[in-house]
Amino acid sequence: MSPALDATDHRIIQFLRADGRITNADLAAAVGLSASACLRRVKALEQSGVIRGYTALIDQRLSENMAVVIARITLERQTEDYLTRFEAAIRKCPEVRKCDLMTGDSDYLLRVELTHAADYERVHKHVLSRLPGVARIQTSFAIRSVI
């Protein structure tokens, strides 16, 4: 079960989302805490799993060959077993940078990031189509990122 977050925790998360490399001193000043109290809160958020990690966002324009594929996955069934097995397997796919359980026509929406667009055939054949319970995969290639 997730810990209860207060307003200060939410502000810390907001600032970290905007700048994951913000210094602890700047973060503490922004949320109105001492540096040591702020660091304790960030560590507690990390240890509890609220903050799962930090990442670098790469500007696609600077990486000409990078391809972003949006894949909509439909499972054979929406039982707890199918959802659990799919989610455990998708976490092991390094090319999948984001996976959301959805409402609507598809069960999951994936963001797949690849070095080259041609790599998607390999990912489709050897990764996505082999995930447990997958009935249908629909894909779109991103032209460019706007936000």
Structural domain range at position 119: 60-141
Other C-beta atoms closer than 10 Å to the C-beta of 75 total 19
Other C-beta atoms closer than 10 Å to the C-beta of 134 total 19
Residue range 123-142, pLDDT digits in tens: 999 999 999 999 999 999 98
pLDDT of residue 76: 96
pLDDT of residue 56: 75
Same domain, 22 and 67: no
Beta carbons of 101 and 108 less than 8 angstroms apart: yes
Q: What's the total number of domains in the chain?
A: 2
Q: For the chain, which residues score pLDDT lower than 70?
A: 1-3, 58-65
Same domain, 66 and 119: yes
pLDDT of residue 58: 65
Mean residue pLDDT of the chain comes to: 90
Report the Cα–Cα distance between both ends of the chain, in Å, rounded.
32
CATH code of the domain covering residue 77: 3.30.70.920
pLDDT of residue 2: 54
For 40, list phi and psi in degrees, rounded to 5: -60, -40
Residue type, 120: Y
Q: Which two tokens stand for residue 144?
A: 């460019």
pLDDT of residue 144: 76
Query: What is the CA 130 to chain-centroid distance, rounded?
Result: 21
pLDDT of residue 116: 82
pLDDT of residue 60: 60
Q: 2 lies in a domain?
A: no
**Which residues are within 8 A (CB) of 54 and not within 5 positions of it... i.e. 6 or more apart?**
20, 21
